[in-house]
Structure 1
């Protein structure tokens, strides 16, 4: 993704099928702690998803898109406008409807997509998911100004590895099937698919990775997503 450099003188529970726990959030990025002479690029960022993107049961600053923006700032990439369109319990269809009703800018420099766990939880078909996920990926590309290098997809966490999931193999298998579908579609577009699922699978062995609702990732887990999986390739793509 080509970004024009700035002048150096002058960046509990899912309630899987419900939507009353977390409202769709459209928020600006946190204030940039970087001094202005450290900024090498300025970008806008749109994060699309469900409870994992809105950060159910964690503080606003612990949501992974917010943590990613803060981490990018430490590399001199200032997120001047961040929007999150996500709600606890959303399926792919809910997200499509949410985007259609959201007041968004025409385009963003960076667009992320993480969606599908509620399709799996509600027993919705993989066929439906493939169709609607493809629609969402097309929308993400459109919102990135047609530039696929400005889009990335994040895998679905495996909630079997939480006290709520209790290690159930059928949950893991279901999440794996939806992730495989998302990965195949994403990679067919030449868009990166970032696999954070192995980190989520440490949740039963390491309870600090699970939020107090015993289901969602904790802020600590989201930090690991950013530091171990997302930050380096996303930053490289922005500055490429």
Structure 2
């Protein structure tokens, strides 16, 4: 059964404007001492490629900066396989066409908002997401401890979403499915959705396209959710 939403256009928005009130952290200095160097593969959609923000404001880039400056952990190389508007099947097809290899030290997966937005049932999402997560584990050489999943942000809490409760309910359903699948496969699941739900109360958390997260919001994902947890798991490898 297809999901009925209140909007009819596809969630495929791009904008060249950045959040002018946000000053991104400086890029990692190559002279900074690093105790550990890890390769990082980030898989996803507009939320990973950073639609409407500059490259250094994307969450993978901010995570790399914070890990180096605060934890002496260097993410190199950092490769992003993501595109604005991608569904789970689009990402899967891209990975089949150009496999990234199976020797990555860390792999992330954040995907699903466009499946939801375009009216695909959560049951189909579960199947496709499960297959993608298996692929992500394979890219990490089969090491589930080297993979993590991020929850889908709630775009209801943007000017575009307008506080639509029906959107939030579907976001919760899709995230519940992803949470369960990640747990079944022994993969960590990091919830950033609560941060995204401050977007209407704190307008600076939304990019100037009125839909995607701003660099400030991505920074909160890193500082509040990702940095300590990722660093802890990296240290546990040593």
- TM-score band, normalised by shorter chain: 0.7 to 0.9
Deviations, residues 123-172 of structure 1 (Å, cap 9, x unaligned): 10111100000000000000001000000000000000000000000000
**1:63-212 alignment, distance < 5 Å:** 63-74=58-69, 75-102=71-98, 104-212=100-208
Unaligned runs of 5+ in 2: 1-8, 17-25
TM-score of the superposed pair, with normalisation by structure 1: 0.86
* Deviation (angstroms), 1:117: 0.4
State the match for 2:29 in structure 1. 33
RMSD: 1.9
Does the CA-based 8 Å contact 1:34-1:76 persist in structure 2? no
Aligned twin of 1:62: 57
Counterpart secondary structure, 1:173: helix
The answer as to whether partners of 1:34 and 1:73 remain within 8 angstroms in 2 is no
**SS in structure 2 of the partner of residue 152 of structure 1:** strand
Displacement after TM superposition at 1:190 (Å): 1.6
TM-score by length of 2: 0.87
The 4+ residue runs of structure 1 with deviation greater than 3 A are 15-22
Aligned counterpart, 1:48: 43
| Offset at residue 101 of structure 1 (A) | 1.9
* Distance of 2:178 and 2:211 partners within structure 1: 22
Q: How many residues align?
A: 218
Give the Å deviation of 1:16. Answer: 3.6
1:106 to partner: Cα distance: 3.2
- What is the CA distance between 1:102 and its match in structure 2? 2.6
Q: Helix, strand or coil: the match of 1:104?
A: coil
The structure-2 alpha-carbon separation of the partners of 1:162 and 1:19, relative to structure 1 and needing over 3 Å to count, comes to closer
Contact 1:113 1:153 in 2 (8 A): yes
SS of 1:182's equivalent? helix
What is the alpha-carbon distance in structure 2 between the residues aligned to residue 59 and residue 102 of structure 1? Answer: 25
Question: How many Å apart are 1:80 and its aligned residue?
Answer: 1.6
Secondary structure at the counterpart of residue 56 of structure 1: coil
- Contact 2:27–2:56 at 8 Å: present in 1 too? no
